[in-house]
């Protein structure tokens, strides 16, 4: 598949030079409202020493007063196709790094790069490129969304390139990712779907049910075979019915399933989000962006794989038929909406944006919460829930804006 032409539009240039937080000295953020796994602490402090959070503040530490601000763990996005005008599916290494940095500017300190449907040779080539960035620590791994999805629920994927989930071809993608494949989205009702779920589970790769036309019973079978994630619940699957409950009911009711939700005000009605969140609970919900190139960039025309997309008023749709084509969401906006529009507590929103996706990725020893020994991935938010600082691995990506 040929690489699509670049996005058209304007953007602020991204700087790729984070500033050291401490200039070689430990730093203490003090006076903050700190969101911890055990609850929120008023007038708390967080100490950073090098790349890590530490429990002891030495006398020589630099003290930064962040009174009136929240300190939150960095956000973790497990489903993201690009940003800043750059695509993770088709961009160069420089483009991919630009997209990663764009999302870091918006609070995503850990990101899984998602691809869209393409031919197998192209996808294996992309897996090689992205796996190198994972090895360098720029991304947490690779998510293959397609080509093993239903033509009935293809969304913004090229129908001509779709195929059944043959376990041999699924294995080909896993091998091409060199141990860096984190997740594969499949329509598990298709021929080979259940065997592919078992294959993924055996190799420690998340099998995600999505872009599916499965029945309730077929979805239960896939969960029993080892599927553990619902790809953007409600979207690209049959609606919940009282006689034919379909995949939504099966995915919501099973505690083995982590639910992806896109909280951008376009993909979900607030009542649907409330239904899913309160049925599953914060420890089973991972807010995602499903972002495409336009995230953090602007309106205009873009390419999502081989399909042309028009973004108007921040909503991405296929040029051909108006189908929603990913989002332009960033996780700082998702957090603010979750708290101010959806009425979630700060603690529950942080769980869904940090701790739950970190747990899903098997990375709770290093990220997902503000605890001694973990990476100093943290965010500053003001009382209006606007982002005022981003630190990743002990370096400011966005320096504190406390004025």
**Domain containing 379 — which CATH number?**
2.30.40.10
User: Does the annotation place 211 within a ligand binding site?
Assistant: yes
Residue 215 lies inside a defined structural domain of this protein: yes
Q: What is residue 361's predicted lDDT score, i.e. its pLDDT?
A: 98
Q: What is residue 9's predicted lDDT score, i.e. its pLDDT?
A: 32
Residue 17 lies inside a defined structural domain of this protein: no
Three-state DSSP class for residue 128? helix
- pTM value is 0.93
Three-state DSSP class for residue 141? strand
Total domains in the fold of the chain: 2
Shared-domain flag, residues 91 and 50 = no
CA-nearest of 329, 325, 335 to 388 is 335
Shared-domain flag, residues 204 and 328 = yes
CATH of the domain at 131: 3.20.20.140
User: Does the annotation place 236 within a ligand binding site?
Assistant: yes
Q: What is residue 13's predicted lDDT score, i.e. its pLDDT?
A: 32
Residue 63 lies inside a defined structural domain of this protein: yes
Shared-domain flag, residues 100 and 211 = yes
Domain that holds residue 43: 27-73+368-398
Check if 255 is active-site: no
User: Does the annotation place 325 within a ligand binding site?
Assistant: yes
Residue 13 lies inside a defined structural domain of this protein: no
Residue 1 lies inside a defined structural domain of this protein: no
Shared-domain flag, residues 62 and 192 = no
Q: What is residue 24's predicted lDDT score, i.e. its pLDDT?
A: 57
Q: Which residue among 77, 290, 293, 377 is the active-site one?
A: 290
Shared-domain flag, residues 274 and 329 = yes
The answer for residues whose C-beta is within 8 angstroms of residue 113's C-beta and 6 or more apart is 80, 81, 88, 96, 100, 130, 133, 139, 141, 142, 143
Residue 93 lies inside a defined structural domain of this protein: yes
Shared-domain flag, residues 377 and 268 = no
Residue 55 lies inside a defined structural domain of this protein: yes
Shared-domain flag, residues 143 and 283 = yes
Give the burial string for 321-359 (b: 16+ CB within 10 Å, else e).
eebbbbbbbbbbbbbbbbbeebebebbbbbbbbbbbbbb
How is residue 269 written in tokens?
A: 């009605």
Shared-domain flag, residues 84 and 139 = yes
Shared-domain flag, residues 283 and 296 = yes
pLDDT tens digits for the chain (403 residues)?
333 333 333 233 333 444 444 445 799 999 999 999 999 999 999 999 999 999 888 888 899 999 999 999 999 999 999 999 999 999 899 999 999 999 999 999 999 999 999 999 999 999 999 999 999 999 999 999 999 999 999 878 888 999 999 999 999 999 999 999 999 999 999 999 999 999 999 999 999 999 999 999 999 999 999 999 999 999 999 999 999 999 999 999 999 999 999 999 999 999 999 999 999 999 999 999 999 999 999 889 988 888 889 999 999 999 898 998 889 999 999 999 999 999 999 999 999 999 999 999 999 999 999 999 999 999 999 999 999 999 999 999 999 998 7
Shared-domain flag, residues 306 and 326 = yes
User: Does the annotation place 326 within a ligand binding site?
Assistant: yes
How is residue 295 written in tokens?
A: 């995230």
Torsion of CA 331, 333, 334, 335, to 10 degrees: 90
How is residue 87 written in tokens?
A: 């695509």
Three-state DSSP class for residue 182? strand
Shared-domain flag, residues 196 and 123 = yes
Residue 147 lies inside a defined structural domain of this protein: yes
Shared-domain flag, residues 244 and 313 = yes
CA-based max dimension of the chain: 66
């Amino acid at each position: 598949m040929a690489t699509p032409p670049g996005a058209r539009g304007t953007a602020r240039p991204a700087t790729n030079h984070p500033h050291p937080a401490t200039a070689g000295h430990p730093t203490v953020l003090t006076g903050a409202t700190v969101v911890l796994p055990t609850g929120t602490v008023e007038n708390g402090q967080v100490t950073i020493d090098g790349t890590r959070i530490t429990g002891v503040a030495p006398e020589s530490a630099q003290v930064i007063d962040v009174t009136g601000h929240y300190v939150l763990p960095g956000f973790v996005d497990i489903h993201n196709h690009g940003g800043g005008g750059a695509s993770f599916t088709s961009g160069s290494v420089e483009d991919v790094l630009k997209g990663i940095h764009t999302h870091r500017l918006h609070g995503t300190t850990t990101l899984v790069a998602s691809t869209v449907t393409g031919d197998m040779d192209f996808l294996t080539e992309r897996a090689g490129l992205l796996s190198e960035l994972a090895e360098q620590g720029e991304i947490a791994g690779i998510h293959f969304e397609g080509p093993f999805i239903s033509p009935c629920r293809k969304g913004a994927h090229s129908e001509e390139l779709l195929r059944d989930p043959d376990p041999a071809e699924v294995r080909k993608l896993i091998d091409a990712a060199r141990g860096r494949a984190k997740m594969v989205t499949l329509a598990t009702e298709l021929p080979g779907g259940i065997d592919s779920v078992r294959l993924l589970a055996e190799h420690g790769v998340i099998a995600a049910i999505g872009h599916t036309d499965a029945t309730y019973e077929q979805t239960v079978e896939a969960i029993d075979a080892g599927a553990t994630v619902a790809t953007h619940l409600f979207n690209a699957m049959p609606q919940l019915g009282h006689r034919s409950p379909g995949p939504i009911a099966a995915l919501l009711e099973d505690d083995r399933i982590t639910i992806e939700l896109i909280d951008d005000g376009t993909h979900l009605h607030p009542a649907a989000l409330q239904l899913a969140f309160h049925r599953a609970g914060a420890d089973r919900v991972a807010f995602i962006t499903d972002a495409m190139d336009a995230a953090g960039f602007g309106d205009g025309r873009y390419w999502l794989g081989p399909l042309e997309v028009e973004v108007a008023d921040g909503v991405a749709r296929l040029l051909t038929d108006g189908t929603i084509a990913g989002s332009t969401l960033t996780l700082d906006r998702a957090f603010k909406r979750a708290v101010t529009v959806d009425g979630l507590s700060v603690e529950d929103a942080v769980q869904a944006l940090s701790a739950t996706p970190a747990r899903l990725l098997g990375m709770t020893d290093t990220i997902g919460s503000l605890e001694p020994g973990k990476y100093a991935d943290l965010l500053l938010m003001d009382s209006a829930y606007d982002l005022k600082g981003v630190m990743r691995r002990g370096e400011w990506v966005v320096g504190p804006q406390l004025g």
